[in-house]
Amino acid sequence: MSSVPLGLVIVGFGGMGHEHLRKLKGVEELAVKGTFDVKPDRQELALSLGLKAYPSFQSVLDDPQVAVVLIATPNDRHRDLAIAALGAGKHVICEKPVALNIGQLDDIVRASKKADRLFMVHQNRRWDEDYLTVKKILDEGTLGRFYHLETRVLGSRGIPGDWRKLARSGGGMMLDWGVHLLDRLVFLIPGRITQVYCKLNYPTGQEVDEGFHLFLTFESGHTALVEVGTCHYQPLPLWLVLGTHGTAVIHDWSLKGGIVARAGADADAQPIVAGAGLTKTMAPRTEKGEVQLPLPKVSSDVRDFYRNFVAAALGKEEPLVKNEEVRRILGLMEAAFESHRKGRVIAFE
Ligand code: NAD
């Protein structure tokens, strides 16, 4: 890289702000100028790491060395901070979920257009290798005609932290994890989503959703189950992908899993004893009736997100995360909330 790196300040130096600092060390297109956080202990942490701790948000905006503001605060602050930064002539990287509703995002996009500055949302899980593995399997047609998939993340320790439990801060698992899973899902199943059915769950009585089951139907006929849980003590696969000739499973982020595909005809089925009855339909395949395949290998570098951001800010590339895309996912989450509230399927798109 020959040009001078763009100066960047991390606003909100909590868990994710710190993670950005770690990732940015490998991105020579951006130079971290410092951080700003409203909590004194996070300001002290920045100083102890040899960073400049800006005394106020305004001082970040006033610094001509700062070209990029990276917002990693709780969700309810994104809108106002982004609009102020754009208005001060800064490009903005914003954490997900971009905002609490579509109206807030539209306000930000208007500010971005008016200031002629780039606003891009950190949908980093598009670079996850589990997701990219599923994408490769589908692109290669390994499973025959693909018709359904399940994508999920499960934990057992409840909602972490403080603001994530508060509705006014934009807490809850739909906005936290749902936004990631849905953001990727729509690249696996293109086309219109026709129906949305969602049940949020509140097993420990929090004021925000602690998890959910969300069922989507696509115009193409594909269906998808999206599941997030924080009170779930047994692991279930991150991904289950069903096609007419095979099934792929990815158990965890270490990419344990594989593909079972059909070999030859289905003439090997023999009835088996199943509970108090017999079944041939549900009998497992025999060795000669199936082939086990490893998951295809993919590799990715999430730092490409930041590199693309800089190239897009300089007008050299299209942004990889587009505001229309994140707007559609906000709409989808709004439909999911409506489905839960009304207890019925919502027609979407
Ligand atoms: P956190 O609570 O650990 O950190 C948030 C920080 O923002 C806190 O230190 C808080 O003091 C500070 N803050 C609050 N209001 C502020 C303001 N007005 N100005 C400056 N600082 C302010 O939360 P977190 O887990 O780091 O999450 C922050 C954001 O990052 C959220 O939007 C969350 O959804 C997102 N996030 C994204 C990912 C991802 O993989 N993309 C992962 C975790 C969190």
Binned average pLDDT, 10 residues per bin, the chain of 349 residues: 86 98 96 98 98 98 98 98 98 98 98 98 98 98 96 97 96 98 97 98 98 98 98 98 97 97 80 94 88 96 98 98 98 98 97
Residues with CB under 6 A from ligand 1: 11-17, 36-39, 42, 57, 72-75, 77, 95-96, 122, 124, 161, 163, 176
Contacts (Cβ under 8 Å, ≥6 apart) of 125: 131, 180, 181, 183, 184
Atom of ligand 1 nearest to the CA of 75: 32
| Nearest-CA residue for atom 36 of ligand 1 | 16
Distance separating alpha carbons of residues 83 and 94, to the nearest angstrom: 11
- C-alpha 13 to ligand 1 mean position (Å): 7
| Nearest-CA residue for atom 14 of ligand 1 | 73
User: What is the predicted pLDDT for the residue at 265?
Assistant: 72
| Nearest-CA residue for atom 10 of ligand 1 | 12
Distance separating alpha carbons of residues 89 and 67, to the nearest angstrom: 8
- C-alpha 202 to ligand 1 mean position (Å): 23
Question: Which 8-state DSSP code applies to residue 166?
Answer: -
User: What is the predicted pLDDT for the residue at 289?
Assistant: 87
User: What is the predicted pLDDT for the residue at 2?
Assistant: 52
- C-alpha 163 to ligand 1 mean position (Å): 9
| Best residue among 44, 73, 98 to mutate for probing ligand 1, ranked by most atoms within 8 Å of CB | 73
- C-alpha 125 to ligand 1 mean position (Å): 17
- CB-CB contact of 102 with 330 (8 Å): yes
User: What is the predicted pLDDT for the residue at 83?
Assistant: 98
Residue 26 — left, alpha, or beta (φ > 0 → left; ψ -120 to 50 → alpha)? alpha
Please, what is the Cα angle at 151 between 146 and 152, to 5 degrees? Answer: 160
Give Dmax (Cα) for the chain. 76
Its pTM surpasses 0.95? yes
Q: How many CB atoms lie within 10 A of CB 230?
A: 23
- C-alpha 56 to ligand 1 mean position (Å): 16
- C-alpha 18 to ligand 1 mean position (Å): 9
